[in-house]
Structure 1
Amino acid sequence: MAAGGAYVVIQIVLKEKILGTGSGNLTELEKAINAQAALGYRLHTITTASSGSKGLVGGDRIQATLVFERLS
């Protein structure tokens, strides 16, 4: 990616909790969003896709693709 580009694209794999429901690493997603906001970007688009695969101890994996747009 060129430095200072108009857009940034990041992919994060969300892992299901071992016990219970929901994602076990939402803080990673939050940190990525906040880090880009600190650099002058806003979240433009987010899409998700289920990989359908299980980890070593179970749990689905969801791939989140985040597109950030530089604020002028």
Structure 2
Amino acid sequence: MQQYVVLQVTLKEKFIGTGSGNLTELEGVINTQAAKGYRLHTISTAAAGSKGFLGGDRIQATLIFERL
């Protein structure tokens, strides 16, 4: 069994308003790994803009989970 799992989630800005439009996706990733016996050890973020049509700011979150 793996001792660590590394995953990335891209948080996208809401089309209307402020904040992230997909925090439930991030929550789902964390809860899925917790159900497998891992805990969130480290989270790192990097901001990136998007120049495409209807693009908004993006935050790339890298999550490191450690087996309990």
TM-score tier by shorter-chain length is over 0.9
RMSD, aligned CA: 1.1
TM-score where L is the length of structure 1: 0.88
Match for 2:61: what amino acid? A
Q: Percent identity?
A: 74
One of 9, 14, 17 as aligned partner of 1:12 = 9
- Give the Å deviation of 1:55: 4.6
Name stretches of at least 5 consecutive residues in structure 1 with no aligned partner: none
Unaligned runs of 5+ in 2: none
TM-score computed with the length of structure 2 as normaliser: 0.93
